[in-house]
Chain A
Amino acid sequence: MALTNEIIRSRLMEKFGEQLTGWEEPYGMLTFTSDKDLNLKVLQFLYDDVELGFKFMTDLCAVHYPNEEGKELAVVYHLHNMKENVRIRYKIFTGIEKPDVYTASALFSAANWMERETYDFFGVNFLGHPNLKRILNIDEMDYFPLRKEYPLEDQKRIDKDDEMFGRD
């Protein structure tokens, strides 16, 4: 029997009940969210359950919503059941003041660098991560550049001598 979004949803509801919210299906991909402290339990269940079997982490990234007070940062997991060829998207939201989220790197080795990247750009603090340090930016950087409050470099800035680059 093919694994449909309805089956996944009812299987998850059976286990977690009302703790999972925000059910959506944008462009056919089942999307849901939960409390951020539940993330490992949900991921582990999705991984272990014989019927669900989401054993492949396709992607992990974060999104910044500066206007959503108390849940400014979203961490988005894209999971894939390769046997049934079904993908789902699972989101958790965290406040920006204390962006602590449990790491999924023990479950998925793939999450190691993706979490480092997310930390690097959004400052999500992955609790229990074996090596949480910046990965693409320089170590001395003291801000998280993909947050919305940082604009792209102003083309008219004057603190850089740009004579050599044709800007005057």
Chain B
Amino acid sequence: MSEHVTLPEGNVEKHTTTINLGPTHPATHGVFQNIIELDGETIVSAEQTVGYIHRAFEKIAEHRAPYQITPLTDRLNYCSAPLNNFGWHITCERLLGIKIPKRVDYLRIIIMELARISDHLICNSIVGVDSGAFSGFLYLMQYRELIYEIYEEICGSRLTTNMGRIGGFERNFTNQAFEKLERFMKEWPPALKEFDEMFVRNRIFMDRTIGVGPISAERALNYGFTGPNLRAAGVDYDVRVHTPYSSYEDFDFTIPVGSTGDCYDRFLVRDQEMWQSMEIIKQAYQKVQEFKGAEAEVYHADVPDFYLPDKKDVYTKMEALIYHFKIIMGETALPVGEIYSSIEGANGELGFYLITDGGRAPYRLHFRRPCFIYYQAYSELTKGGLLSDAIITMSSLNLIAGELDA
């Protein structure tokens, strides 16, 4: 047996334990590393390392035409790719000063709200998984499938959608798309209600999340929080209401807010937002159905310089083929301008700061990624809590590595 070593006089023993959480840990749902100092079970500090999947989108974007940037935006928050796609197209449209027909706006809103639901349902069910309730996650996953089937019907792809065009959509919504939408509208609310019943007043879930990872409204604002995380702290800021885009002003919906900014409030805010999104989808679908005759066929604005010609013309007509090539290869220059345009992404204000110098590609394009900005508060959120609380805090912030690292 070894003898007990006495430290020389004046030495201070290290009382804390350092653990590495991540970069690839099953509990972090993405590539996140945290170097956590623990005093017993209590977190003293957490130091985040980010950038594991950094892909230099801002550099690439300086060399690409607008349509070649859309697939880059897919890979920001890949749980709700259409939101990013439309955010980018809306930025271009604002730069070009294009007026979008109402029907396109409403169709976009349907897709954007579906994307918001698909993002929030992942986040909320993951919070469930991290607090020990796995079934909710598996159960809701099949409804995300229904949303992805709608995407598939509209643009052909599911996760990284590359959906839409500058000015609208690549083709009109088919009847199957609307049928699938109707199916989702019918089957989703009961499932969400069941999910609510499983979690919202569940004693175990409440004990695990109430008071965990809280932030005050003041600190949240100072940290640049936006989206559901800011609203959970009690600030009713929503880009859809404050700076309406895509005709959100035509819709009647409420902005749910929390008060304590803890995991439970974040969960509830996301949950209520899903219900509100359903309301918006219902109204939008009704508005879309009210278009009759030629108006019901409108699915894009008239932007010959940037809207791709019909595929069938590209295959049969010389002029259309040339235009297709010119637009894809970025032979049409963007006008000189400087614009900041933002939309309400699933995680908060997704901004595009675009500077153009008259060339075919942006001079500079900066993505304001909500994730990146609020993740820096993680250390403050988890300080003094338990390690298991830190895991829930991370998932309830809805950190998406793709958006974080750009």
Cβ contact within 8 Å between A114 and B373: yes
CB neighbours of A113 from chain B (8 A): 372-373, 375-376
Q: Considering the complex, which residues of chain B in the window 215-239 have a beta carbon less than 8 Å from any beta carbon of chain A?
A: 219, 221-224, 235, 237
Cβ contact within 8 Å between B366 and A61: yes
Q: In the assembly, what is the distance between CA of A61 and CA of B355, in Å?
A: 12
Shortest CB-to-CB span from A138 to chain B, Å, is 8
Known contacts A82-B235, A109-B219, A109-B377; decide if A145 and B59 are in contact (CB<8 Å). yes
Any B CB within 8 A of the CB of A27: yes
Size bracket of the A interface = 20 to 34
Chain A residue nearest in CB terms to B372: A113
Cβ contact within 8 Å between B368 and A112: no
Any B CB within 8 A of the CB of A129: no
CB neighbours of A135 from chain B (8 A): 50-51
CB neighbours of B376 from chain A (8 A): 109-110, 112-113
Q: Considering the complex, which residues of chain A in the window 28-61 have a beta carbon less than 8 Å from any beta carbon of chain B?
A: 29, 31, 55-59, 61
| Contact stretch, chosen from B187-195, B251-259, B278-286, B334-342 | B334-342
Any A CB within 8 A of the CB of B364: yes
Any A CB within 8 A of the CB of B325: no
Given pairs A114-B372, A135-B51, A138-B51, 16 additional interface contacts (CB within 8 A): A27-B338, A58-B224, A58-B368, A59-B351, A61-B366, A63-B364, A78-B353, A82-B221, A82-B235, A82-B237, A109-B376, A110-B376, A113-B372, A114-B224, A135-B50, A146-B59
Interface residues of A (CB under 8 A from B): 26-27, 29, 31, 55-59, 61, 63-64, 76, 78, 82, 85, 87, 89, 108-110, 112-114, 117, 121, 135-138, 145-146, 150, 152
CB-CB nearest 10 A-B residue pairs: A110-B224, A136-B51, A61-B366, A136-B54, A113-B376, A59-B368, A26-B338, A109-B223, A27-B339, A109-B222
